[in-house]
């Protein structure tokens, strides 16, 4: 079992609610090509869905960190694993496959850094087993 972390680039910010939205992980690009994450790993969509579901079932509370320096700076409040099938069902058109999340930032310092553009990414953490495909 090893600790894992997903970096979430801030794509949308809601100042009033102190929430940020971004991709937690991209599995394939818009052309369907596999994407290798920053740790050199690839994950099957079924495994990603399992991890995302477990995060939501656990309440998502405290699962955000400030780039592995300060843990529990916020909570995951929305989660969607995007697949070709889901994009088609929802009428979303072409795009990447992956995991999109929205986080509520509860830590004042982290929120100030996000708003000022000093913090362009946040993380989700957990644990997993690395296996060879």
Q: For the whole model, what pTM was predicted?
A: 0.79
pLDDT 10s digits, 53-64: 988 888 766 677
Structure confidence by residue, pLDDT tens digits, 79-95: 999 999 999 999 999 88
CA proximity to 105, closest of 14, 24, 6: 14
Give dist(CA 58, CA 82) in Å, integer: 20
b/e burial code for range 75-106 (CB count within 10 A of at least 16 → b)? bbeebebbbeeeeeeeeeeeebbbbbbbbbbe
């Amino acid at each position: 079992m090893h600790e894992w972390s997903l970096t979430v680039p801030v794509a949308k910010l809601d100042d009033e609610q102190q929430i940020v939205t971004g991709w937690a992980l991209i599995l394939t690009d818009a052309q369907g090509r596999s994407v290798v994450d920053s740790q050199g790993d690839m994950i099957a969509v079924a495994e990603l869905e399992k991890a995302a579901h477990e995060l939501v079932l656990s309440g998502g509370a405290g699962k955000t960190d400030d780039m592995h320096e300060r843990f529990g700076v916020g909570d995951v409040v929305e989660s969607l694993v995007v697949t070709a099938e889901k994009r088609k069902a929802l009428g979303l058109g072409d795009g990447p496959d992956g995991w999109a999340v929205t986080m509520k930032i509860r830590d004042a310092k982290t929120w100030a850094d996000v708003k000022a553009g000093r913090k362009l990414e946040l993380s989700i953490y957990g644990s997993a087993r690395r296996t060879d495909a």
